[in-house]
Amino acid sequence: MAEASARRIDRIDVAPRFGERDAIRLNNLFRGVPTEEMLRTVLAESMVGDVALVSSFGAESAALLHLVASIDPTVPVLFLDTGKHFPETLAYRDTVAERLGLRDLRILTPDADVLAKKDESGLRWSYDPDGCCEIRKVLPLDAAMAGFDASITGRKAFQASTRNALPRFEVDAAGKLKVNPLADWTKDDIEAWFVRHDLPRHPLVEQGYLSIGCAPCTSKVKPGEDPRSGRWAGWDKTECGIHTPVNDGDPDLPVF
């Protein structure tokens, strides 16, 4: 495993490579194309430039990791080790990586100096979860993504109301593409993929954790609730901040 540590305090500011029209073109090009065929074409033809898969190794992560690894196991996989994960998640990460033969797993960690200045007690999650996510997730990922043009994410539309219009392709504030291969997959689709390929399960799922992030901010999901309801319970917060799609300022283009 390659160890990496973010050394930048400010958000990475780079000239955009992609615009919203690129995302629209790709969404139109692959409309109706099966997920595996779409992803195979995108990767084989380098249609989104240098790309990395960003994975939390959470409840459903093995499906996307398997899908990508079956096409190209050399695609870099970025894991944000915030220092707050469940021990079960770290063990599961290693199990899945070995099982799928991931050849380029990169473990990203927060900058030690930033933690010392902004979260010396390690308890920022308890009074400022946005700030905690910023220094433990957003900044390290920004630094790592400086070397890539696009990322592959495991987000699905069914996970929460805030994701119900999720497209396959979108552009973030840095002008980098986000590829969401599983955007239109259902819970049943995910389950079928796990069964078909005999994928290992995250050990916390059977305990009622359906969306798994950092331990202090993850709780069990009650029957009938959406999977993301177990994240930051009690806070007006639904995302950690690493997914911020925007348009390029053209009022005639949709905001995904």
| Catalytic residue annotation | 240
Q: Which two three-digit tokens encode residue 47? A: 């249609």
Residues contacting 8, CB < 8 A, separation 6+:
111, 139, 142, 143
Spell out where the chain has E strands. Answer: 2-5, 51-54, 77-80, 105-109, 150-152, 169-171, 177-179
- In three-state secondary structure terms, 54 is strand
Query: Strands of 105-109's sheet, edge to edge?
Result: 2-5, 105-109, 77-80, 51-54, 150-152, 177-179, 169-171
- Judged on CB neighbours under 10 Å (0-12, 13-18, 19+), 44 is exposed
114, 139 in Cβ contact below 8 A?
Answer: yes
- In three-state secondary structure terms, 69 is helix
Torsion of CA 227, 232, 237, 239, to 10 degrees: -60
Please indicate if the annotation marks 167 as binding a ligand: no
Residues contacting 175, CB < 8 A, separation 6+:
14, 15, 16, 17, 18, 19
Please indicate if the annotation marks 217 as binding a ligand: yes
Please indicate if the annotation marks 210 as binding a ligand: no
Give backbone dihedrals phi and psi of 42, rounded to 5 degrees, phi first.
Answer: -60, -45
Annotated binding residues, written as ranges, equal: 132-133, 214, 217
Annotated binding residues for [4Fe-4S] cluster, written as ranges, equal 132-133, 214, 217
